[in-house]
């Protein structure tokens, strides 16, 4: 059995359950045990590692976590889910997500600078090999390469649909991009000029990675297609397509020649990239998906993020029999038939961003505990938008009903609550009566 180390931290980084800090530190650098990282209040969408073993996590809870030891450092400021985070030069970090914004953080002195914005969600990032620039893939169909010194970005245009992933060549001169248009294209990273179409897959491509010696490229697609092609030719050299779709995440370790592939059904498949064979196929979570994967620097552990708020790390050598990402599965995964309609509305539409408890576990939105009769913007340490913070609204049956009848964007324009309406009057009434019973203090 693997020893499971569990680290729990509350919203302000207060350490609740750290057993052996020294052990944890060494396990990040040369991890050979299973462990979990707890603290995020939403699914984890992006993971990457620094060469010293530090783990960076990007979450639906709008924050980035930096895990060097038991107490994560939180980078707060994104106004929506964060999808990607990568390390760049001088210990700095770049993150991006659903608020279109690409941000450069200096965690040592807690500063942040916006490098710029896309016109739609940013899905993935890739750091240039020298750490001096970052490429961002966006739903606005473009890729932008942002120098971290703040110089103007290089714009890459040409894909016919959303861009899903991006990778630099090892020498930093070329950029590989994948898209929902079913192609992988190659570009000049200095000028943004189009060089060639490498792959025509037919179905949308979600993720790609380039070998450290640029001898092959691997990609995963919406139809489950999982292939390796030779570089620079683009000729297929391996097809590992299983009956699972879509493929969502990929990672590679040059130390062990392993490619890890995560899919929507919760599996992590391992491929030996020199022998071109499958070495493991591990169901990491029965409730899928696996959204994010990264190897530890020594290649001995695979870190995974998905629908759970908890990041799991498993030793690659003993995936069989490893503990699954269960138990931490989000509450909305529980059997919907057991719930009232109001509770079901809440679980599906609100619980990812709101708790009902007074302790305000980390989520993107404020706790709804004791909501009725409360003034808008009243939770003390929650970073509200200026609109909500200065609003005169009192939350009542009527105002909560209006909020979702009209939608937050119409009812309180300027709020950072996402656009969403609940069009059925009965659904709204059921939700409100559930909230009344679940949020009222005893
Ligand atoms: C994707 C995240 C997200 C989802 C889903 C979401 N909210 Fe929110 N909610 C927020 C954020 C962020 C705020 C704070 C808005 C601001 O500061 O402008 C908020 C604020 C609120 C407020 C005001 C609270 C206060 O203290 O003033 C209420 C009430 C609320 N949400 C109810 C709900 C309900 C009910 C649902 C489900 C139908 C829901 N929200 C779904 C993110 C979300």
Provide the mean pLDDT of the chain: 86
Taking Cα atoms as reference points, which of 372, 337, 336, 330 lies closest to residue 352? 330
200 and 252 inside one domain: yes
Instruction: Look at residue 295 and tell me if it is in a domain.
Output: yes
Let me know if residue 422 belongs to a domain: yes
Distance CA 57, CA 59 (A): 7
Task: Kindly report, residue by residue over 226-235, the tens digit of the pLDDT.
Answer: 999 999 999 9
* Spacing, Cα 107 to ligand 1 middle (Å): 28
The residue from 295, 318, 341 where one domain ends is: 318
- Closest-CA residue, ligand 1 atom 27, reads 376
Domain count, the chain: 2
User: Which atom of ligand 1 sits closest to the CA of residue 412?
Assistant: 18
Residues 269-289: what's their mean pLDDT?
A: 87
**Alpha-carbon distance 283 to 322, whole Å?**
9
Per-residue 3-state assignment (H helix, E strand, C coil) for the chain? CCCCEEECECCCCCECCCCCHHHHHHHHHCCCCCEEECCCCCCEEEEEECCCCCEEEEECCCEEEEECCCCCEEEECCCCCEEEEEECHHHCEEEEECCCEEEEEEHHHCEEEEEEECCCCEEEEEECCCCCEEEEEECCCEEEEEECCCCCCEEEECCCCCEEEEEECCCCCEEEEEECCCEEEEEECCCCCEEEEEEECCCCEEEEEECCCCCEEEEEECCCCEEEEECCCCCEEEECCCCCCCEEEEEEECCCCEEEEEECCCEEEEEECCCCEEEEEEECCCCCCEEEEEECCCCCEEEEEECCCCEEEEEHHHCCCCCCCCCCCCHHHCCHHHCCHHHHHHHHHCCCCCCCCCCCCCCCCCCCCCCCCCECCCCCCCCCCHHHHCCCCECCHHHHHHHHHHCHHHHCCCCCCCCCCCCCHHHHHHHHHHHHHHHCCC
At CA 185, angle to CA 138 and CA 290, rounded to 5?
Answer: 55
Same domain, 210 and 311: yes
Question: Does 353 lie in the same domain as 273?
Answer: no
> What pLDDT does 368 receive?
94
Same domain, 338 and 277: no
Kindly give the number of the ligand 1 atom that is closest to the alpha carbon of 375.
Answer: 27
Residue 84 has pLDDT above 70, yes or no: yes
Residue 323 lies in a domain: no
Evaluate whether 113 touches 104 at the Cβ level (below 8 Å): yes
> Do residues 312 and 358 both lie within one domain?
no
Distance 368 CA to ligand 1 centre (A): 8
In a shared domain, residues 241 and 112: yes
User: Atom 5, ligand 1: which residue's CA is nearest?
Assistant: 350
The CA–CA distances, whole Å, from 385 to 286, 321, 361 equal 37, 46, 19
CATH value at residue 389: 1.10.760.10
Nearest-atom index, ligand 1, CA of 349: 37
Mutate to test the pocket of ligand 1, among 79, 353, 407 (most ligand atoms within 8 A of CB): 353
Answer yes or no: pTM beyond 0.85. no
Range of the structural domain that residue 369 is part of: 331-439
Q: Do residue 166 and residue 303 come from a single domain?
A: yes
pLDDT tens, residue by residue, 291-342? 999 999 999 999 999 888 889 999 998 776 667 775 344 433 445 556 788 8
Q: Residue-wise over 129-151: b if at least 16 C-beta within 10 A, else e?
A: eebebbbbbbbbbbbbbbebeee
Q: Are residues 172 and 102 in the same domain?
A: yes
- Residues contacting residue 129 through CB under 8 Å, at least 6 positions apart: 168, 170, 171, 172
Mutate-to-test residue for ligand 1 from 365, 381, 416, highest number of ligand atoms within 8 A of CB: 365
Residue range 295-304, pLDDT digits in tens? 999 999 999 9
- Whose C-alpha lies nearest to ligand 1, atom 23? 376
Residue 19 alpha carbon to ligand 1 centre in Å: 35
pLDDT tens for each residue of 201-212: 999 999 999 999
Q: Give the end of a domain, one of 318, 347, 372.
A: 318
Return the C-alpha torsion angle 70, 76, 82, 86, nearest 10.
-60
Query: 48 or 442, which is more confident?
Result: 48
Say how far apart CA 299 and CA 314 lie, in whole Å: 11
Residue 355 lies in a domain: yes
Q: Are residues 292 and 374 in the same domain?
A: no
What is the rounded CA–CA span in Å between residue 388 and residue 403?
A: 13
* pLDDT digits 0-9 by tens, 146-191: 999 999 999 999 999 999 999 999 999 999 999 999 999 999 999 9
Q: Compute the distance from residue 345 Cα to the ligand 1 centre, in Å.
A: 14
State CA 213 to chain mean position distance. 27
Q: Cα 23 to the chain's mean position, in Å?
A: 27
Relative to the CA of 377, which ligand 1 atom is closest?
27
Expressed in angstroms and rounded, the spacing between residue 141 Cα and the centre of ligand 1 is: 29
Picking from 253, 287, 318, the residue at the C-terminal end of a domain is 318
In a domain, 326, yes or no: no
CA of 354 to the centre of ligand 1 (A): 7
Closest CA to 127 of 147, 152, 157: 147
Distance 409 CA to ligand 1 centre (A): 11
Residue closest by Cα to atom 39 of ligand 1:
350
Q: What is the pLDDT of residues 344-361, one digit of tens each?
A: 788 777 887 888 888 766
Report the DSSP pairing between strands 5-7 and 35-37. Answer: parallel
Please check whether residues 124 and 208 belong to one and the same domain: yes
Whether 431 is covered by a domain: the verdict is yes
Give the position, in ligand 1's atom list, of the atom nearest the Cα of 389: 17
Residue 325 lies in a domain: no
Please state the separation of Cα 116 from the chain's center in Å.
20
How far is the centre of ligand 1, averaged over its atoms, from the C-alpha of 310 (Å)?
A: 22
Contact assessment for residue 224 and residue 244, using Cβ atoms and an 8 Å cutoff: yes
Q: How far is CA 134 from the centre of its chain?
A: 17
pLDDT of residue 184: 98
Q: What is the model's pLDDT at position 321? A: 63
Q: Is residue 324 part of a domain?
A: no
Lookup result for tokens 């169909």: 141
Ligand 1 geometric centre to CA of 416 (Å): 8
Contact residues of ligand 1, CB 6 A cut-off = 349-350, 352-354, 364-366, 371, 376-379, 384-385, 387-388, 395, 400, 404, 415-418
Instruction: Residue 180: give its domain's CATH number.
Output: 2.130.10.10
Res. 8: pLDDT tops 70: no
So what's the pLDDT on residue 308? Answer: 83
Same domain, 370 and 227: no
pLDDT at residue 362 tops 70 = no
Q: Are residues 147 and 285 in the same domain?
A: yes
The rounded percent of the chain whose pLDDT value lies above 90 is: 62
Please give the distance, rounded to the nearest whole angstrom, from the Cα atom of residue 417 to the centre of ligand 1.
5
């Amino acid at each position: 059995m693997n020893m499971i180390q569990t680290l729990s931290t509350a919203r302000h980084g207060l350490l609740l359950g750290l057993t052996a800090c020294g052990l944890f530190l060494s396990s990040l650098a040369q991890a050979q045990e299973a462990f979990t990282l707890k603290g995020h209040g939403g699914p984890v969408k992006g993971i990457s590692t620094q060469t010293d073993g530090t783990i960076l996590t990007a979450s639906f809870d709008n924050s980035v976590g930096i895990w060097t030891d038991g107490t994560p450092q939180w980078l707060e400021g994104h106004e929506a889910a964060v999808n990607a985070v990568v390390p760049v030069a001088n210990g700095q970090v770049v993150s991006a997500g659903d608020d279109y914004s690409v941000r450069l953080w200096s965690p040592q002195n807690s500063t942040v600078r916006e490098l710029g914005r896309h016109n739609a969600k940013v899905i993935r990032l890739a750091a240039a090999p020298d750490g001096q620039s970052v490429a961002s893939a966006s739903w606005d169909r473009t890729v932008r390469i942002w120098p971290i010194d703040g110089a103007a970005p290089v714009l890459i245009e040409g894909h016919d649909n959303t861009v899903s992933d991006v990778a630099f060549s090892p020498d930093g001169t070329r950029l590989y991009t994948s898209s929902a248009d079913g192609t992988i294209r190659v570009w000049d990273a200095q000028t943004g000029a189009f060089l060639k179409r490498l792959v025509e897959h037919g179905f949308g491509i979600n993720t790609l990675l380039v070998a450290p010696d640029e001898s092959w490229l691997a990609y995963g697609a919406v139809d489950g297609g999982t292939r390796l092609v030779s570089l620079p030719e683009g000729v297929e050299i391996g097809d590992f397509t299983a009956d699972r779709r879509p493929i969502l995440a990929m990672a590679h370790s040059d130390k062990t020649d392993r490619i890890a592939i995560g899919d929507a059904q919760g599996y992590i498949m391992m491929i030996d990239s020199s022998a071109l064979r499958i070495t493991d196929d591990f169901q990491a979570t029965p409730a899928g998906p696996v959204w994010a994967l990264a190897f530890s620097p020594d290649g001995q552990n695979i870190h995974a993020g998905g629908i759970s708020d908890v990041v799991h790390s498993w030793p690659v050598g003993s995936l069989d029999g490893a503990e699954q990402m269960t138990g931490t599965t989000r509450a909305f995964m529980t059997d919907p038939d057991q719930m009232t309609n109001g509770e079901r509305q809440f679980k599906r539409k609100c619980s990812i961003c709101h708790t009902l408890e007074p302790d305000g576990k980390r989520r993107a939105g404020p706790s709804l505990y004791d909501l009725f009769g409360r003034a808008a913007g009243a939770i003390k340490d929650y970073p509200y938008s200026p609109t909500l913070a200065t609003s005169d609204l009192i939350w009542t049956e009527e105002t909560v009903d209006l909020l979702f009848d009209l939608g937050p964007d119409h009812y309180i324009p300027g709020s950072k609550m996402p656009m969403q309406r609940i069009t059925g009057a009965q659904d709204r009434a059921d939700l409100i009566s559930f909230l009344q019973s679940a949020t009222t203090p005893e």
